[in-house]
Chain A
Amino acid sequence: MPPLAIPAYTATTALGRGREAQAEALRARRGGLRRNDFGTAALDTWIGRVDGLEQAPLPEQFMRWECRNNRLAWLALQQDGMLDAIAALRERVGAERVALVLGTSTASIGETEAAYADLHEDADGQPQFAPGMRRPIVHTPHSLGDFVQHATGLRGPCVTVATACSSSAKVFAQAARLIAAGVADAALVGGVDTLCGSVLYGFNSLGLVSTQACRPFDAARDGLSLGEAGGFALLERGHAGSTLQLRGYGESSDAHHMSTPHPEGLGARLAMADALARAGIDAAQVGYLNLHGTATPANDAVEARAVAALFPDTLHAGSTKGWTGHTLGAAGIVESIFALIALQDGLLPGTLNSSDADPACGPQIRFDNVDRVITHAMNNSFGFGGNNCSLVFGRAA
């Protein structure tokens, strides 16, 4: 595929607000996980919570979209000059020529949960949402896309991708297709997911949540830590002066099981190989791979084998879930941004909280950080339903 420029990007996670907070915490190996203090905090687990959302309501004109998830979207958009960059792009190419493709797993279902926790009986004795909760948009998966569309004034194709934990990786692929087909000249991509009862208790019901801070690729790992995050990036064809680029994407399905990865990592391998092929590079040219690495026993062993099958021993691959927690539908954008930081700063994160590598790990899986200039970085995001996406990023020559 022709490379697409990435002239601006930002992320807000448990590590802090904006790009520098991410880079600094990755470099200092300072994790953002804490003991669960969300909601009733009844589950014994660790979470990657974004501070300050409770004190950051949406501006008055956006009250229709008010909810934790859109608060985080708004907070993230205000970092690193992203709103200004969007406005400048809108002026330059035209609002209708900028696509908006955002990923989320649960959108603002936290608001629907809150409505159910505060039902009022009507005259017929039927339970009803409180008046302030009767805002249809926040009870749909497109809550995020609709909010950002209104907040940015973009008028190109606008869609929310919701393929669980691969959502905001797939947004790069869909946006690249819209641009390649001439439906848009540029795109705002990104993703936001926030902590809520559905995911905390849902992953708990599957036995996938650890009582400790997650330990990706450790032999003793016993589950994930959930997190919340938001991130955005601009994609544009032929943007002079921008050095970061989307070089390739690969997507696949496992065709195996709804919540367990394919035992040989079939889909993961297909997605990675497809991304490398579309980028037109060999596996040996990848300097850093941000792994999906959720710290569930199944995912990490399968992913480690798939990586060992495709890449030389020299690859530096790690999971940053120990820093941020698993941010679900936001993992794709956040970890793509970590890959962009690796490209820009030569900072290759290892893996936090882990000490004894699982026997399935090849020499590619690294626990320590390394400083090294690289030419290509990659990100893996895999989701429920066996939904896989890999992305390749590079720098303009």
Chain B
Amino acid sequence: MTGVTRQQDAVGARRAELAASVEGIGFWSQGLPSWDAAREVVNGGAMPDAAPSRPSPQLLAPNERRRAPGSVAVALEVALAACAAAGRDPATLPSVFASMHGDLAITDYMCATLSVDPQAISPTRFHNSVHNAAAGYWTIGAGCVQPATAVSSFDATFAQGLLEALVQLHAGAPAVLLVAYDAPSAGPLAQVSPSIGLLGAALVLSQSPIAGRPRIRCTLRDAQAPAPVGPLAEIAGDNAMAPMLPLFTALASGDDLACLHAGPGRALRVEISHA
């Protein structure tokens, strides 16, 4: 940076484009157990007849699939689906796991147990209580030694997670996995931290334009993102990760713009070029 003033440098940097190709998409909500099912209802089609009540992520061994916290199950389900759609080996991708709350049922368990018998805390539930539990199970299951992160930004979590995935691409990663999810709330916590049902979605994003894949271009600006509307919001709008739904609605419907809440008075504007 020798010889470049800060101001010149900043102006140059401001022109930097935050863009990516969407190589693969995963989606799971109560009633919509796949991206195909989500796309169908966004475009006026019917809900699937028989949807499972809980995902069964194939990355985990059968006994672990049943025991895994709901948040981990939905995250691993959509992550694997996005990798499959992209034709990418999960072991090769750095990952960003975005969740507003992590697993509220485990938080409820921890706080309830601490209030009656602290010595009875389950060691498994404790290590599953970390916000990066899903990221941990993912990298272990996929045999992935690439970096994994876990972020939260209240109701702006998805936009901030997307931003981190995009700047990872800018920093040189050829492709990045973004996984966003939240789980149902439980116990007294549900009054202050409401979240209903399981909801997860994942994107495999890559640097280079690819024929046949949508391209997104993102800018952070001062704006109020409108509340999510449409079929996905009607089905999963009570989950804490609902602020991500405008992007998935646009990806499904062919809209060329989505506006995502990115913090107080801030929005991430996502322009989409559909292939």
Binding site for B on A (CB under 8 A): 2, 42, 93, 96-97, 105, 109, 112-113, 115-117, 119, 126-129, 133-137, 139-142, 145-146, 149, 155, 157-164, 170, 174, 176-183, 185, 197-198, 200-207, 237-239, 251-259, 266-267, 270, 383-387
Contact = CB atoms under 8 A, between A and B. Distances in A.
Contacts of B191: 128-129, 134
Contacts of A177: 164, 167-168, 170-171
A50 B110 CA distance: 24
Given A160-B151, A197-B114, A385-B135, A255 B167 contact: no
Contact of B10 (A96, A97, A136): A97
Interface in B159-188: 160-161, 163-164, 166-168, 170-171, 187-188
Contacts of B145: 252-255, 266-267, 270
Given A129-B191, A205-B122, A258-B128, A181 B154 contact: no
A202 B126 contact: yes
B170 A180 contact: yes
Given A112-B189, A384-B132, A159 B118 contact: no
B239 interface: no
A350 to B, nearest CB: 30
A129 B166 CA distance: 39
Contact of B167 (A115, A181, A198): A181
A112 B190 CA distance: 12
Interface residues of B, number: 78
A145 to B, nearest CB: 6
B121 A142 contact: no
Nearest to B12: A182
B100 interface: yes
The 6 closest A-B pairs by CB, nearest first: A385-B136, A182-B13, A162-B131, A251-B147, A182-B16, A202-B126
A142 B188 contact: no
A161 B13 CA distance: 24
B127 A258 contact: yes
B56 interface: no
A198 to B, nearest CB: 5
Given A141-B152, A237-B1, A254 B193 contact: no
Contact of A159 (B5, B16, B127, B164): B164
B148 interface: yes
A258 B171 contact: no
A84 to B, nearest CB: 20
B59 interface: no
Nearest to A3: B1
A149 B112 CA distance: 30
B118 to A, nearest CB: 4
Given A137-B154, A237-B9, A385-B148, A105 B130 contact: yes
Contact of A181 (B149, B171, B193): B171
Most buried by B among A157, A185, A386: A157
B114 A180 contact: no
B188 A127 contact: yes
Given A136-B192, A251-B147, A141 B131 contact: yes
B188 A257 contact: no
Contact of B132 (A134, A163, A179, A252): A163
A115 B188 contact: yes
Given A163-B150, A238-B1, A129 B188 contact: yes
B67 interface: no
Interface string B101-139: 110000100111011001101110011111111011101
Contacts of A127: 187-188
A141 B16 contact: no
Contact of B157 (A137, A142, A201, A270): A142
23 contacts: A2-B1, A116-B111, A129-B191, A133-B192, A141-B131, A155-B265, A155-B266, A161-B151, A162-B102, A162-B130, A162-B131, A162-B132, A162-B150, A163-B150, A177-B170, A179-B13, A182-B16, A183-B163, A206-B127, A256-B140, A266-B145, A267-B145, A385-B148
A164 B111 contact: no
A396 B169 CA distance: 28
Contacts of B122: 205
A252 B94 CA distance: 9
B149 A109 contact: no
Given A159-B152, A201-B114, A386-B136, A252 B101 contact: no
Contacts of B153: 142, 145, 158-160
B67 to A, nearest CB: 12
